[in-house]
Amino acid sequence: MADQAFVTLATNDSYARGAMVLGKSLRNHNTSKKLVVLIGPQVSEPCKSLLKSIYDEVRVVDVLDSGDTAHLSMMKRPDLGVTFTKLHCWTLTQYSKCVFMDADTLVLSNIDELFDREELSAAPDPGWPDCFNSGVFVFCPSMETHGKLLQYCTEHGSFDGGDQGVLNGFFSDWATADISKHLPFIYNLSSIAIYTYLPAFKQYGGSAKVVHFLGKTKPWSYKYDPKTKRVTGSVQEADTHSTFLLDWWNLYSTAVVPMMHEEYGDQPFHSGCEEVESSSSHVQAHAQAQAQEEVAATEKLTSDERREKWEQGQADYMGVDSFDNIKKKLDTFLKK
């Protein structure tokens, strides 16, 4: 249907790479819907033109930033203020219904059936299931709703500093009003659920339709060797999270990288798009140093006391026991 679309957002070249893979994954599963990407002015020309060859519409929008460092630091994600930009999706009024998807999601099968749902349908957040996760949601573009959302931001702000706090505040009866607006978790399977409820993941993970690489470490933060088809720095080969990670990288290296070469030949791309291929880039060296520092910090904090708390079920998932930290810790064991 021409008046229905999947929509994503990328304010910079890193998230643009996520959007490229997401767009490809939707196409590969033969969606009949339009594909729209909202980009910030910071996205480079090469990335923009690649996005144009995958998406039906590439729309440049102003970057909105909550600037709410206090709430964002509670999530340890100072970078998420710009997710307010997501709210622009309500201005896409040439479409009657849309499904928003974070640029760090990957589609594993056709999900066009989501358009049978109403606004605002979304899956529970794994951290607080009475809130919905705003990485995947069904909505109806409307300038009126857009205006009300912006007004809500001005009057109430966001309890997490990002769009998810605003949207849950605005659509506040989601948890209780209408069960048909609760999307099954398989439409937004966060990588975090793999370690918070492993048996459930083993039981139901095979039916996942959308995987969401929620958290600080994104697929594009890793390195990948196209020859061995392995992601370096991943937990272990058998690890299911790395299977999804490998799916992401396979798609990136087989479908996106060749497009880059087609458009730009062997010339180096002057944008974030090339970071992936220059393993010794400054950016990656910096990220590695940062990861090592975080591992050191985790080691200091993973004392007997911490372990005792963990064993009593008092894990600090947002802090020292976050998925990123656990994974980094495992990585250090595997490297030894």
Question: Residues interacting with Mn ion, by CB under 5 A?
Answer: 102, 104, 135, 214
83 scored as a contact of ligand GLC (CB under 6 A): yes
Binds 23, which of Mn ion, ligand GLC, ligand UDP, none (CB < 5 to 8 A, cut-off by type)?
none
Q: What are phi and psi of 195, to 5 degrees?
A: -100, -15
126 residue type, one letter = P
Cα atoms found within 13 Å of the Cα of residue 108, Cβ hemisphere only: 17
- Distance CA(117)–CA(166), nearest Å, equals 21
Question: Which position among 50, 55, 92, 104 is part of the footprint of ligand UDP (CB under 6 A)?
Answer: 104
Residue 3 is encoded by which pair of tokens? 């008046």
Pairing mode of beta strands 132-139, 121-124:
antiparallel
Would you say 59 or 309 has its CB closer to ligand UDP? 59
Task: Identify whether the C-beta of residue 166 lies closer than 8 Å to the C-beta of residue 148.
Answer: no
For residue 263, the partner it binds in ligand GLC, Mn ion, ligand UDP, none, with Cβ less than 5 to 8 A by kind, is none
Interface positions, 73-92, toward ligand UDP (CB under 6 A): 79-80, 82-83, 86
**Does residue 135 touch ligand GLC according to CB under 6 A?**
yes
If binding is defined by CB under 6 A, does position 98 make contact with ligand UDP?
A: no
- Using the rule CB under 6 A, is 36 a contact of ligand UDP? no
Q: What's the DSSP call for residue 40?
A: -
In the chain, the DSSP E strands lie at 4-10, 34-39, 57-60, 97-101, 105-107, 121-124, 132-139, 189-190, 210-212, 223-225, 230-232
Minimal distance, residue 307 CB to Mn ion, in Å = 30
Chain positions 108 to 147 lying near ligand UDP, rule: CB under 6 A, are 135
Tell me the HSE value of 90 on the side-chain side, using a 13 A CA sphere: 16
**Residue closest to Mn ion, measured at CB:** 102
Spell out the residues 6+ positions from residue 175 whose beta carbon is closer than 8 angstroms to its own: 130, 131, 132
Q: Which of 6, 7, 8, 98 binds ligand UDP (CB under 6 A)?
A: 8
Residue of 51, 186, 214, 251 that binds ligand GLC (CB under 6 A): 214
- Tokens (6 digits) for 287: 């990220």
Q: What is the number of other CB atoms lying within 10 angstroms of the CB of residue 59?
A: 15
Q: Residue for token digits 């996205």?
A: 43
* CB nearer Mn ion, residue 153 or residue 214: 214
The tally of CA atoms less than 13 A away on the side-chain side of residue 118 is 7
Q: Closer to Mn ion at the Cβ: 98 or 214? A: 214
- Beta carbon nearer to ligand GLC, 44 or 188: 188
Report the interface residues with ligand UDP, using CB under 6 A.
Answer: 8-12, 15, 79-80, 82-83, 86, 102-104, 135, 214-215
Report the interface residues with ligand GLC, using CB under 6 A.
Answer: 80, 83, 102, 133-135, 160, 162-165, 214
